[in-house]
Every structure is written in C-alpha cells, then in structure tokens.
Amino acid sequence: MDMIVNTIRMIAYDQVREYSFGDNNSLKEKLGIGFINPEDFKKLNLKSSLNLRLTNNFGSVVIKPKEDKDVPIGTIIIPVSIWANQITGIENDELVYKNIRVSIEVTSDSVLGLKDILNSINE
C-alpha cells in the first residue's frame, strides 16, 4: 500500500527538547512515530504491538503508528527528526520534506534507537 508522508514540527514531539532533556528511550518514543487516520489504521489491521515500515527510493524506516483523526486518509504525519529523514530526499538540488510517496508494510520489527539509526546511516 502506498501513502504520502509529510514531516512537520510538533510542539509535543520536538527533537531539540528530546535531545536536551530526554534519553535514548524518550527520543525513540517521541520522534520515531507517525500519525495516521483511524480508517487507515483499521484498513492496515494495525495493533498496538505492530509497527510500520516505510520504504521509498531514498531509504527505509520503521516507525510506531499512532491514530489521529485530524490526519487526512492516505497520509502519514511524522515529526521532524532523524527518523523522518530516513525517507526524505533531494529533488532538483532541493530537499523534499513534504508529499513523499512511500510504500508501507506492517511489521513486528522494532523502531531503531538513535545510535542504531546513526550506525545504519554510517554503514
């Protein structure tokens, strides 16, 4: 299934705050997430124990899905962070942070922590 990802700044899921006051767990819990419409949640047969793998030409990332009725159907909203930037990219020498097409699959793989993400980028 394909969906559109938009990365946005959210005051409750702010990376500067998590880096300054949080720890590895809170970073992952607050930033390695994505908001989707409850209808999409249902369509994908998601459960609280399952995660979503988002993949496109730029890369791949596993995020914890959360329901939000204000998100349009077919869209995933991800707070701006290193997790979101695994699937953002470059077009025409400009950075693409919005309207990114991804294919999604439900997975039981866990969300990577910051150090694991950094290691995966470095590989």
Partner 1 sequence: MSSKRVTCSGCALLCDDIIVKSDGLYIDEVLGACLKGKERFDQVTAKNRIINPQIKKNGELEKVPFNEALNEAVNIIKNSSRPLLYGFSTVSCEAQLKGIELAKVINGFMDSNSVICQGRVLNKSKETGITLTTITEIINKADLLILWGANAAESIPRLLNKALFSRGKFRMTGREIKTLIVIDPVKTASFGVMGVRDIALQIETGKDIDLIRVLKEECCKADSIQDNGVAGIDKDDLKRLLLHLTGAENGVIFIGQGLLRPQTREDVIKELLELVQLINVKQQKGRISVLMLGGHYNMAGFDHVALSTFGKNHSLQFSNNCLIETSETIVSKIEKEDFDCSIIVGTDPVSHFPSILSKKLMKQPLILIDNKQSATSYVADVIFPSAITGIECGGLAYRIDHVPIELKKIINPPTNVDNDEKILNKIINALRGV
Query: Which residues here bind partner 1, judged by CB under 8 A?
Result: 4, 6, 8-11, 14-17, 19-22, 58-59, 70-72, 75, 77, 80-82, 85-86, 88-99, 114-115, 117-118, 121-122
CB of residue 33 to partner 1, shortest distance in Å: 15
Q: For the chain, how far is it from start to end, CA to CA, in angstroms?
A: 28
* 67 Cα distance to chain centroid: 13
CB of residue 46 to partner 1, shortest distance in Å: 20
Q: Which of 79, 56, 74 is nearest to 9 (CA)?
A: 79
Do residues 34 and 65 touch, judged by C-beta distance below 8 A? yes
Three-state DSSP at 26 gives: helix
Structure tokens at 59: 């890369």
CB of residue 84 to partner 1, shortest distance in Å: 9
Q: Which is nearer to partner 1, 47 or 116 (CB)?
A: 116
Q: Which is nearer to partner 1, 44 or 82 (CB)?
A: 82
